[in-house]
Chain A
Amino acid sequence: MKFPLSWLKSHLETEASLETITSTLTNIGLELEGVEDRAAALAPFRIARVVEAAKHPNADRLHACTVDAGDGTLVSVVCGAPNAHTGMKAVFAPAGAFIPGTGLTLKAGSIRGVASNGMLLSAREMGLGDDHSGIVELPAEAPVGVPYAAWAGLDDPVIEISVTPNRGDALSVRGVARDLAAAGLGTLKPFNPAPVPSAFASPVSWRVDWPEYCPWVLGRTVRGVTNRPSPEWLQRRLLAIGLRPINALVDITNFFTIDLGRPLHVFDVDKIAGDTLTFRRGAGETFRALNGKDYSAGPEDCAIADAAGVQSLAGVMGGEATGSDAATRTVFIECALFDPVRVALSGRRLGLTSDARQRFERGIDPALMPAFLEAAAAMVIELCGGEASEVVAAGAEPNWRRQATLRFARLQSFGGLAVPPDEATAALERLGFRQVSRDARSVTVSVPSWRNDVAAPGALEPAKTLPAGQVAKAAEGRAMVEAECDLIEEVLRLKGLDAVPAASLPRAQPVPEPTLTPRQRRTAMARRILAGRGLAECVTFSFTERRVASLLGTAPGSLTLDNPIAADLDQMRPSPLATLALAAARNAARGWGDLGLFEVGPGFESPDPEGHRLVAAGLRIGRTPRSWIEPARAVDAFDAKSDLWALLAALNVPLDALTVTAEPPAYYHPGRAGVVRQGPKTVLATFGELHPRVLAGLDLPGPAVAFELFLDAIADGKRRRRQAPTLASFQPLRRDFAFVVDASVRADALIRAARGAERALIAGVALFDLYEGEKLTEGKKSLAIEVTLQPSERTLTDTEIEAACAKIVSAVAKATGGVLR
């Protein structure tokens, strides 16, 4: 919403400075977006007379001018404009002035031997348009020496505010003035348009077939008009807010929209077929709107139709066919009331935004329609001549009257500020609320017709899962409280929220409970552990290209966005790994191909809440760092497994109870990746090398290894008291065994067998060597383990040690077929 200060002052009698006005606007919820003060940039420019414009002695296309800028001396100026001539009035910039159109500061100097101590300006050089065909020529009566901006009426700052969706009334200069007056910045000027006498019966009348869309409409014919350009004051106001003046009739409708928030439409009566305009549902007709585009009026759109068809979309935009033009002699003025919700839905369906729709969908003043129509008819006659018909109407003024009650104590107990009852009541009255009754504890007021946001009816949409009794009680609570909150808001808004003293929240407990749930703690821990292992945390988009989602999982149609912002952001990712892999590829393409990344974030299996998985995913690509101490090597599956194991250990997952199987999802290398389970079913994690097809599909140079931990699969640990540790007083013994087994034997089978051979004695089994090669027969490998025996009662005898070793050998042989090497 934009308006020049002078326009505001046509409604507001005020002595307040621009700064007071703008800061008050912000305080009362009409947030200032900016002030455009065109005069500031034009300040150095003055009106001057060209005393003489002689041909430049040394240049064909230049003039050597002598200029009188009103300060008593004549200035020599070299000017290249073809229209410079002796005696003209022009705009003069002295040396040292900044020229907005060129971005340069003017310097005194000489041009081809003639002194030039200033400049005569074109409109473009002043930043006032595109005209650069010559310098601005002012009328002969323009006073020499006067600042140009003041003379041209450009010293009128344009204020721009943002109006929140609830404040339709503030989408008008008058509405803004009313709020400022209520805030104590002056007096609102009265609005009492004198009735325009009725000279004849209107040749056009209304019919409403859809009263739910259009409850009430007024109209009036004005005949004998001459449509001509608007007077300068009107053109200037429209130009100041960025509207192009077209002709008086169109400009009048634009003026009313901005000035009073009252959109009007003007039909050219000679272009209307028949004598009735009917509000009805659209029937799929195509209609050309005033913006030159074609729209189809559907059954939920309200058409205004004559005998020939649809001529306007009610509340949204008028039509080209019946619009006014220079030849218009008779007009029919439409002043209607529409259902805000239906206008909003219609406008959205049609994809049509207009100043009219913006106001109708926020609701306009239903009480002042007759007055507005008088004012409109008067202005048409004033600017275009002619005489007005009777007022024709259809429908009736709806009952908009509502009351609201404010209990004064609630200003403190809800609003946090004890405003005295008299002050609160006076504030409401300044806003147009009328006191209906008042006692010591409360005041009941009637709501002004323009404030459809206060005590608005509006249906509830309660949760379907709630019991009926609870819904009813809650609805009752809302009915008691909502309108009062509206009034509290009004009082505090005018008072300024800065007046409400800040109060720290009372402490619920001396020392707060933990903020995080165990799951949230695991998430935070996962971040720290992975970052601690040298991985960089990323935050990537939850959506990606469908092809990428398919490469790294699945891409079901139920997770494809209906309206993606880009073709490569149309699918919810199955796992953060998908977008991490893209991130790694981007880094590699930039020349950073050896790195580790991770993300803890959502993966999507289905659109249901249960289909959101919280995943900690990590990815390493390239090689380990080069060093003089140890050579660099390519990252491998065990880097990923190490990251994963460190994470699982930190999250208190019992590692011994996990099983790893080599049946990874398809995006991993089928022979170099695994699935980690806890128990028979729960899949905790996957890890391994990424499939070469995935690397090729993402332009990700290999090797690349990854893991994904499904954080939701980890159960909350029980908080148990730990038993005191048994710290044996006898030294442990360590014995090494190397077993030759079939190449297909899994290491963990062998480790498990060894560990289970003598549970009371064996404290640990560590696999420290794997050998496959020429010293063994084809299809065999050697696995070497170190077994730690921990006696608890006494030192073991040689016989006991040998017996334990024999048990280990036989347990391994039984489980794996392995024989001592």
Chain B
Amino acid sequence: MTDELSTLKSETAAALAACADLRSWDAVRVGILGKSGRLTALLKQLGALPPEERRQRGAALNVLKDELAAAIESRRAALEAEALNAKLARESLDVTLPPRPAASGLIHPISRTMEEMAAIFGAMGFEIAEGPDIESDWLNFSALNIPAHHPAREDMDTFYLPAREPGGRRRVLRTHTSPVQARTMLSRTPPFRVIVPGRTYRADHDATHSPMFHQVEGLVLDRNITLGHLKGCLIDFLRAFFAIADLPVRFRSSYFPFTEPSMEVDIGWNRRTGELGGGGDWLEILGSGMVHAKVLANCGIDAREWQGFAFGMGIERVTMLKHGIPDLRPFYDSDIRWLRHYGASPLTPAILHEGV
């Protein structure tokens, strides 16, 4: 390479290095590669040279052209990167600032428990039945073998409404979800399996009783359902609900007007620590039994053909046990601090394959 070309190369490199921005860089580019640029001028002179010298000079100029073009392009890329970096530096934020506020809502523990019950009993083939909170005396009591004089009526502290039904009796706020048993038997033909979660009412108000609370009722009617199925179904439910595979469950003879035999169901726990499962103590958790022949007959079902079991349990009670909630009254107080503490995320509904 002649000195002249070397000079051009080194001067170009110096000029490029001196460029502070794309505008000055463009001036350098035009000064070298433009129509009247220095390299363009040298290329134009080629034609005047003798053939041998022209070939050599041409080859040298082509090499130089490639080199200069590459140098110019690389400088452009470098300048652009610098400019971008400078822009980004100007744009920087304090990323430790808090994000946009988003209030997170939640599902009440009672609803959550009802969902879990629907999921577990649903897997056992149950449907969900419903009935009104204001019931007729017949559905709440008489149909269920609780006649007017029955001592159980007094135990139940019933709320009454003035409205009379055709029979002349006052309507009641249902004292249990059991009237839906009768509703189901009257509106459907066996076999069926239903649970009935819902609001119930008793005139009782203290630290462990609320005038409104929730129960879930269960009713299974079929041809060959035995007391063994009652035990199996409830043990299966309790172990799934409390997620304790070997939860001890005990059945004790008892009495309810609407079932016979009747039994109360206890689960094992530790009275001292409140821990469920072991500990050697028993905690009463629900009532159950084989549907009473009189209840079937009152609802027009022939007890020679159909038999089955029913159960009822307090939703607040199992919720308190499952989550270690110490106190009943805050369930209905809607204290936002309590709701946020015990509420469930709406994005994790009770789905068996995700675990309840």
Contact = CB atoms under 8 A, between A and B. Distances in A.
Interface of A: 26-29, 31, 164-167, 340-342, 344-345, 348, 361-362, 412-417, 458-463, 465-466, 470-471, 473-478, 480-482, 485-486, 488-489, 492-493, 497-498, 500-509, 512-517, 520, 524, 527-543, 557-566, 569, 572, 580, 583-584, 586-587, 590, 592, 595-598, 600-602, 604, 607-609, 611-612, 624-630
Given A463-B143, A477-B303, A627-B101, A413 B235 contact: no
A596 B254 CA distance: 45
B59 interface: no
Given A516-B122, A543-B211, A600-B111, 14 more contacts: A27-B252, A165-B257, A341-B147, A462-B298, A478-B293, A482-B293, A515-B119, A524-B115, A531-B345, A531-B346, A536-B339, A542-B173, A612-B133, A626-B101
B84 interface: no
A471 B126 CA distance: 27
Contact of B161 (A476, A561, A595, A602): A561
A256 B339 CA distance: 55
Interface stretch (B24-32, B65-73, B148-156): B148-156
Q: Top 6 nearest A-B pairs by Cβ distance?
A: A416-B228, A515-B122, A534-B103, A29-B253, A164-B255, A583-B334
B263 A416 contact: no
A413 B297 CA distance: 20
B233 interface: yes
Interface of B: 97-98, 100-108, 110-111, 115, 118-119, 121-128, 130-134, 138, 142-143, 145, 147-152, 154-155, 159-163, 170-171, 173, 182, 186, 191, 193, 199, 201, 203-205, 211-212, 214, 220, 224-233, 235-236, 250-255, 257, 260-264, 290, 292-294, 296-305, 307, 331-337, 339-340, 343, 345-347, 349
Given A463-B143, A536-B340, A565 B211 contact: yes
A493 B293 CA distance: 18
Given A478-B294, A478-B297, A586-B334, A493 B343 contact: no
Nearest to B263: A497
B261 A492 contact: yes
Given A493-B261, A536-B105, A592 B253 contact: no
B253 A559 contact: no
Contacts of B193: 505, 508
A558 B343 contact: no
A497 B203 CA distance: 33
Contacts of A516: 118, 122, 128
B157 to A, nearest CB: 9
Given A29-B255, A416-B226, A497-B252, A537 B106 contact: yes
A461 B167 CA distance: 12
Contact of A558 (B145, B155, B162): B162
A632 B253 CA distance: 61
Nearest to B153: A348
Given A167-B255, A417-B227, A535-B105, A607 B297 contact: no
A505 B300 contact: no
Contacts of A626: 101
A5 B307 CA distance: 41
B150 A417 contact: no
B107 A485 contact: no
A592 B340 CA distance: 12
9 contacts: A362-B151, A417-B228, A481-B303, A503-B226, A505-B225, A512-B125, A516-B128, A540-B332, A624-B101
Given A515-B118, A516-B118, A559-B161, A590 B335 contact: yes
B261 A562 contact: no
A475 B149 contact: no
B101 A562 contact: no
Contact of B163 (A166, A344, A465, A558): A558
B104 to A, nearest CB: 6
B102 A534 contact: yes
A542 B261 contact: no
A607 B134 contact: yes
B132 A612 contact: yes
A650 to B, nearest CB: 11
Contact of B229 (A166, A416, A460, A557): A416
B213 to A, nearest CB: 10
User: Chain B at the A interface: mostly helix, strand, loop or mixed?
Assistant: mixed
Contacts of A627: 98, 100-101
Contact of B205 (A167, A565, A612): A565
A508 B133 contact: no
Contact of A560 (B108, B162, B255): B162
A621 B51 CA distance: 93
B303 A530 contact: no
B173 to A, nearest CB: 8
A640 to B, nearest CB: 15
Contacts of A415: 226-227, 261
B296 A478 contact: yes
A278 to B, nearest CB: 24
B228 A344 contact: no
Contacts of A477: 293, 296-297, 301-305
Contacts of B225: 505
A485 B105 contact: no
Contacts of B262: 489
Contacts of A564: 159
B138 A463 contact: yes
A541 B211 contact: yes
A539 B128 contact: no
Contacts of B333: 583, 586
A166 to B, nearest CB: 5
Contact of A531 (B97, B105, B173, B298): B105
A539 B302 contact: no
A660 to B, nearest CB: 25
Contacts of B105: 530-537, 596, 598
Contact of A492 (B149, B161, B227, B303): B227
Nearest to B233: A505
A466 B187 CA distance: 11
B212 A528 contact: no
A222 B278 CA distance: 60
Contacts of B294: 458, 460, 478, 482
